């Protein structure tokens, strides 16, 4: 679907709902002129998140597709994500008291999706919703996705035979220049939503007695497979748990340069 087709579709939905551009603009928290530009197909310089917000205001979904001449884009993206799953499993596979289930799907009254990793701590009756991100694309969508999954987590836990008293949320980012830059650019918003960092989640994992919202980076050695997603992830010895805050995270030190090499086995 090209830009003009996107605009025509959103305009048709708005007219079918008998709503004005001004009403849509208020709900999407953008200007009426911007809604008009999008409906006219002039979206080349409009932020993707803005187009999504306008679509959401119409109870629609803007879901762009990336195409590439070099091969199967889905396979490439999934390989990178799979490498991140593998790195996470190596880091936390031996964590006492926890079990981790990958790729947990859910569907409740039209709300459906897949949780990357669902952690369960029976002694603390705590469930942990984990999102693995190779790349931050849309900050608002990330926060909305985590809100929905945390809200549904107790029911998801119940369906798996767990009775959860506490729910935690943990976003783990690939430790690369692009994500450091995005965290720098959106640090205030992201840290407001995810106030706990790497050191905080490390401590919490040993004693999960309350809810938590955390965001941290994975170490470079856990993501070796991302350097060439077509190759298998190299085998390493299972490290001890350590999740310190990388100094490149929002709050101190560099934020826009490449992260320094961490000792093997530390999760940032």
Q: Which domains does the chain have, with CATH numbers?
A: 3-57 (1.10.260.40), 73-228 (3.40.1350)
Q: What pLDDT was estimated at residue 48?
A: 87
Q: Helix axis angle, 3-16 relative to 32-39, nearest 10°?
A: 120
The whole-number average pLDDT for the span 28-47 is 90
pLDDT digits (tens, 9 = 90+) for 117-155: 899 999 999 999 999 888 888 888 889 999 999 999 999
Q: How confident is the model at residue 262 (pLDDT cuts 50, 70, 90)?
A: very low
Rounded CA-CA distance 232/229 in Å is 7
Q: What is the pLDDT of residue 228?
A: 41
- Measure the CA–CA gap between 187 and 161, rounded to whole angstroms: 37
Q: Is the pLDDT of residue 94 over 90?
A: no
Q: Which long-range contacts link 102-106 to residues 24+ away (Cβ below 8 Å)?
A: 104/156, 104/160, 106/152, 106/155, 106/156
- Tell me the per-residue pLDDT of 145-159, one tens digit each, with 9 for 90 and over: 999 999 999 999 999
Q: Is 60 helix (H, G, I), strand (E, B) or coil?
A: coil
- Over residues 192-199, the mean pLDDT reads 91
Amino acid 151: pLDDT: 93
Confidence (pLDDT) at 123: 93
pLDDT band at 239 (very low <50, low <70, confident <90, very high): very low
Q: What is the mean pLDDT of residues 171-195?
A: 89
- Give the model's confidence band at 249: pLDDT under 50 very low, under 70 low, under 90 confident, else very high: very low
pLDDT at 24 over 90: yes
Confidence of residue 221 (pLDDT cuts 50, 70, 90): low
| Whole-prediction pTM | 0.58
């Amino acid at each position: 679907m090209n830009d003009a087709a996107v605009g025509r579709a959103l305009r048709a939905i708005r007219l079918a709902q008998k709503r004005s551009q001004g009403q849509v603009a208020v709900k999407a928290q953008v200007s009426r002129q911007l809604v008009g530009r999008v409906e006219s197909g002039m979206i080349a310089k409009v932020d993707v998140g803005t187009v999504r917000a306008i679509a959401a205001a119409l109870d629609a979904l803007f879901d762009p597709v990336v195409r590439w001449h070099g091969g199967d884009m889905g396979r490439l993206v999934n390989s990178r994500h799979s490498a991140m799953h593998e790195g996470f499993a190596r880091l936390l596979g031996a964590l006492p008291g926890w079990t981790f289930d990958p790729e947990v799907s859910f569907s409740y009254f039209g709300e459906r999706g897949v949780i990357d990793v669902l952690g369960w701590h029976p002694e603390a009756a705590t469930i942990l919703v984990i999102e693995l991100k190779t790349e931050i694309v849309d900050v608002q969508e990330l926060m909305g996705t985590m809100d929905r999954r945390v809200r549904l987590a107790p029911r998801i836990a119940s369906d798996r035979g767990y009775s959860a008293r506490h729910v935690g949320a943990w976003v783990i980012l690939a430790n690369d220049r692009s994500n450091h830059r995005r965290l720098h650019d959106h640090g205030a918003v992201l840290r407001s939503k995810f106030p706990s960092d790497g050191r905080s989640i490390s401590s919490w994992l040993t004693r999960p007695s309350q809810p938590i919202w955390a965001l941290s980076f994975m170490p470079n050695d856990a993501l070796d497979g991302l350097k060439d997603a077509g190759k298998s992830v190299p085998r390493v010895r299972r490290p001890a748990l350590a999740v310190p805050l990388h100094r490149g995270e929002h709050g101190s030190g560099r934020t826009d340069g490449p992260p320094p090499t961490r000792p093997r086995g530390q999760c940032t």
